[in-house]
Amino acid sequence: MSKPIIAIVGRPNVGKSTLFNKLIGERRSIVEDTPGVTRDRIYGETEWRGKKLVVIDTGGIEPKTDDVILKQMRLQAEIAVETADVIIFMCDVRTGLTADDRDIAVMLKKSGKPIVPCINKCDRIGQPPMEFYEFYELGFEQDPISVSSLHGSGSGDLLDACMDALGDWQDDGEEDAGIHVAVIGKPNAGKSSVINKLIGQNRLIVSNVAGTTRDAVDTQVENQYGKFTFIDTAGIRRQAKINDKIEHYSVLRAHMAVERANVCLLMIDASTGITEQDEKIAGIAHEAGKAVIIVVNKWDLIEKDNHTVNEFNDKIRVALAYMPYAPIVYISAQTGQRVESLFERINYVYGQSVMRVTTGMLNDVLGDAMIRVQPPSDKGRRLKIYYMTQISTAPPTFVIFCNNIQLFHFSYQRFIENCLRETFGFHGTPIKLIIRMKGEDAN
């Protein structure tokens, strides 16, 4: 990355996510008074002293634990430390200096990276509490900085210290994040496993426990196919099953991830088949106007004959009748079967979603369509279509001007949409038609 990277690490529940949100100026990390809410690394950007900085929020480090999830959280934090240029080591003044803090400090010193000790929950303005001074025992070159992540006090001093630690950093300019791809689906469909296979490293925590990923996580990758930013979303559950607040925030993050994406990979678990929940999740991407690829995962677990693929295709097309444009890919994240082919598919459907067609070509297609099927009429009044023009992309959006909106039946709109797809493709992307009376503003 061309921008300096700052990682926030520390024990669980010391306020890392609250500080992260304060630094980037938005609620991206889930904040809850429960240890272990942040599990994967969450990335965000901030600007300080004229420089753009990448900030990483990490899961809390438990130096000694047998818990599988906690062990992987520690691994994710260690990877963040490796990739960071400066590390903010956060402690909690209310609990004081703990044995875990000392163990983490030793681990961080071994990294050889600049460390900025940050003592949180110093909420009173003025002199920090007496307990603050015991953190000097950790022996870092940089003096500890008192902050209140809740109120934001001390965050400027903290960023100043980080900038001083960076020294003369050379910024290579604005980075192209490439195509943004949201990986969506119900819990345990294999979303994180697919991203790990695509990028070739264990960037995300992968677990067989349904609902392991809670935040939307960005992963950038560049290869022979181009630049991509993958957004791994928390599995979207049924509304009735969202019992705790953390889960509720995760569903909001998934919706936000779809909004930020150019292309959505809809993960379907082949072993359970397409479900009502899959239909609802697909609807989120369809309603948002995003290009979609339907990815059937765990295909290696299915017993197959000559008709298996066609039968599965038919079930998907019936269940997702509102998105016949979406291509279907059968993969196995476990074995890697056909996973790499997703890159070419992503490039293709993205290109289709941003395609522009000239007004002249559109009206040639419209003229042919009206010759093939006459516009509908009602009680002696016939629909007259004057012309069509494209006003935007992603999704391709067209305005059609006519004499009477009421005469423009939905079935005829669908017919014109099909004519557009026959001529120009628009594979993998929804098409939006806006009907206007002549004389109305196109926008």
Asked if residues 329 and 345 have their Cβ atoms less than 8 Å apart, the reply is: yes
Give the residue from 175, 234, 233, 223 showing the smallest Cα distance to 198.
223
Exposure string (b/e) for 143-159, b if CB count within 10 Å is 16 or more?
A: ebbbbbbeeebbbeebb
Q: Which residues contact 157 (CB under 8 A, 6 or more apart)?
A: 145, 147
Q: Cα separation of 255 and 257, whole Å?
A: 5
Q: Cis peptide leading into 114, omega within 30 of 0?
A: no
Structure pTM? 0.62
pLDDT 10s digits, 72-121: 656 666 777 777 889 999 999 999 999 889 988 988 898 888 999 999 99
Instruction: Kindly indicate whether the domain formed by 5-166 is annotated with CATH number 3.40.50.300.
Output: yes
Type and span of the H or E element at 89: strand 86-92
Asked if residues 348 and 428 have their Cβ atoms less than 8 Å apart, the reply is: yes
245 vs 253: which has the higher pLDDT: 253
Q: Does the fold of domain 359-437 match that of domain 179-353?
A: no
Look at the domain 179-353 and name its fold: Rossmann fold (3.40.50)
Exposure string (b/e) for 348-360, b if CB count within 10 Å is 16 or more?
A: bbbebbeeebeee
HSE toward the beta carbon, residue 190, CA cutoff 13 A = 23
Q: Cα separation of 430 and 258, whole Å?
A: 14
Q: Work out whether strand 226-232 and strand 217-223 pair parallel, antiparallel, or are unpaired.
A: antiparallel
Beta bridge partners of 5: 54
Q: What is the mean pLDDT of residues 180-205?
A: 79
Give the 3-state secondary structure of residue 322.
Answer: coil
Q: What is the residue extent of each domain of the chain?
A: 5-166, 179-353, 359-437
Q: Which residues contact 235 (CB under 8 A, 6 or more apart)?
A: 185, 186, 187, 188, 189, 191, 210, 211, 213
Around Cβ 27, how many Cβ atoms within 10 Å? 15
Q: Cα separation of 61 and 114, whole Å?
A: 19
Question: With 80 as the cut, is the pLDDT of residue 231 above it?
Answer: yes
Question: With 90 as the cut, is the pLDDT of residue 393 above it?
Answer: yes
Around Cβ 44, how many Cβ atoms within 10 Å? 18
pLDDT 10s digits, 267-277: 999 999 998 88
SS (H, E, C) 183-204: EEECCCCCHHHHHHHHHCCCCC
Look at the domain 359-437 and name its fold: GMP Synthetase; Chain A, domain 3 (3.30.300)
pLDDT for the residue 214: 45
pLDDT for the residue 204: 52
Model confidence at 241, pLDDT cuts 50, 70, 90, reads low
Beta bridge partners of 9: 89
pLDDT 10s digits, 299-313: 998 888 888 999 999
Asked if residues 232 and 191 have their Cβ atoms less than 8 Å apart, the reply is: yes
Strands (E), 252-305: 263-269, 291-297
Length of the chain: 443
Q: Which residues contact 226 (CB under 8 A, 6 or more apart)?
A: 178, 179, 343, 347
